[in-house]
Chains A and B, each alone.
Chain A
Amino acid sequence: MAIFDKFQPLAATLKSMAECGVESVHVVMEKMLSSTEAVVNGRPTILAGTNNYLGLTFDADCVEAACRALRSEGTGTTGSRAANGTYRTHVALENDLADFFNCRSVIVFSTGYVANLGMISTLAGAGDVIVIDADCHASIYDGCRLSGADIIRFRHNDPADLEKRLRRLGDRSANALVIVEGIYSMMGDRSPLAEIAAVKNRYGAYLLVDEAHSLGVLGDHGRGLAEEAGVERHVDFIVGTFSKSLGAIGGYCASNHPELDLIRMANRPYIFTASPSPSIIASTRAALATMRARPELRARLWDNAHRLYGRFQEIGLPTGPEPSPVIAVRLATRDSALSQWCTLLERGVYVNLVLPPATPDGSCLLRCSVSAGHTPEQIDRIGEAFSSITADSSIPAD
């Protein structure tokens, strides 16, 4: 078997998509018009698939902070902090985040993916056991695989199922690492975190929560689901990203465990990745300050989320179980998903096309993410675009 033969099924899938006129992985934003609009295929297009929850990518303070850092600190760090050294601003961002989360310490990573890869693969090793929600993100699965630990799945958002699987582990459960997400990226549903934390406490296990989609979205201060659920002190490690609500790129882990500083020095994905560039650090710090100072952004985000979710409910689209800034519409067949994604783009709305096996239950998704930057008129136009395609080719209900 030639080394490239294993890619033939992927090539066949991409070819069949291209034959339907779907080039979802090759969409080019020819010109950015704002945080919520770009020119695609020569047409102004509403961006409803960017996870830009607070709409801060064009925030004047963030842009200015990044420009200042570029001029004063240069374009990049050209290497890892372990080898090339730490910039003052790396430490400043870690201190800002520790203050925000009211925790002992924080590690900043170069991407959210690397944050999960690094934390999970360093925390757990051969002989340990990790128990993960079935719908966890690929970065969590990859971190588990890199760790060499035994990986056990529990049924999505099912604390009783988690308890059953911890019970079966016997004495090993006391050293198990349980991993869930705040808001799940595919259907926008949130973890029953209080119940999960209670189960974890009963078995003396450790809990890591990925708040990638819930930072800036949930909680009175935007700290995520752990804050909203009132269980921050029961969460051992909070992992998240700068590439969604904070409009940049990067990741973090926040913890009260004093061993976090040791974990940093044993963390291969951290040690062997170039550190975040100064402009990224600067815009992230500015975005964090803006997020803390302007809770009205979160309120606007939720107004928009409720508006679009309500519109989808009126139309009768099969969506996720609750209003959320991530709103996914389930489609029964791959062909209908492909054609309707194209129709939406032609009508000036960009959403994410998600196909199995990346989806939780094998269905095909048209996934929207709502932003505080969307105007009510843009939300209505997104709803109208979905309404039109429903009339053209009915979307089957669950």
Chain B
Amino acid sequence: MQTYETIMEQVTDLIKPLVSEDQSLTENTDLVSDLGFDSLKVMGLLEDIEDRFDISVPLNILPDIRTIKDFAVQLQRILGEN
């Protein structure tokens, strides 16, 4: 069972290549307003996350995702169900 912290760390690792080097990433970083992600970029990130954790994450969760923390919370829930 992965902890929230290890999930956060892995999600942050996946976001790093998508943003500039000087962009700071915290759990409250907003994907749209802070990072400028559009819907395509968020869906691409979701594919990367599915592959990293080897799980299925439906697009249906995206309306509830604004921050990196939101992603981590959803992933922790899904990993707990598997």
Contacts and interface: CB of A to CB of B under 8 A. Distances in A.
Contact of A165 (B38, B41, B43, B56): B56
B58 interface: yes
Contacts of A168: 50, 54-56
B1 interface: no
Contacts of A104: none
Interface in A2-50: none
A129 B60 CA distance: 11
Interface in A80-94: none
A251 B39 CA distance: 28
Contacts of A151: 58-60
A150 interface: yes
A230 interface: no
B58 A357 contact: no
A105 to B, nearest CB: 31
A164 B51 CA distance: 9
Nearest to A141: B59
B41 A362 contact: yes
A142 to B, nearest CB: 12
Tell me the interface secondary structure of chain A in the complex: mixed
A237 B51 CA distance: 29
A274 interface: no
B40 A153 contact: no
Interface in B54-69: 54-60
A360 B41 CA distance: 10
Contacts of A144: 59
Contact of B43 (A150, A153, A164, A356): A153
B55 A150 contact: no
Contacts of A361: 40
Nearest to B56: A168
Contact of B40 (A155, A169, A357): A357
A185 to B, nearest CB: 15
A90 B71 CA distance: 48
A169 B46 contact: no
B59 A357 contact: no
Contacts of A155: 47
21 contacts: A129-B58, A134-B43, A134-B47, A144-B59, A150-B56, A150-B58, A151-B59, A152-B58, A152-B59, A155-B47, A165-B50, A168-B50, A168-B54, A168-B55, A168-B56, A169-B56, A356-B38, A356-B40, A357-B40, A360-B40, A362-B40
Interface of B: 38-41, 43, 46-47, 50-51, 54-60
Given A152-B59, A165-B50, 15 more contacts: A129-B56, A129-B58, A150-B60, A151-B58, A152-B58, A153-B46, A153-B47, A155-B47, A164-B51, A165-B56, A168-B55, A169-B56, A356-B40, A361-B40, A362-B41
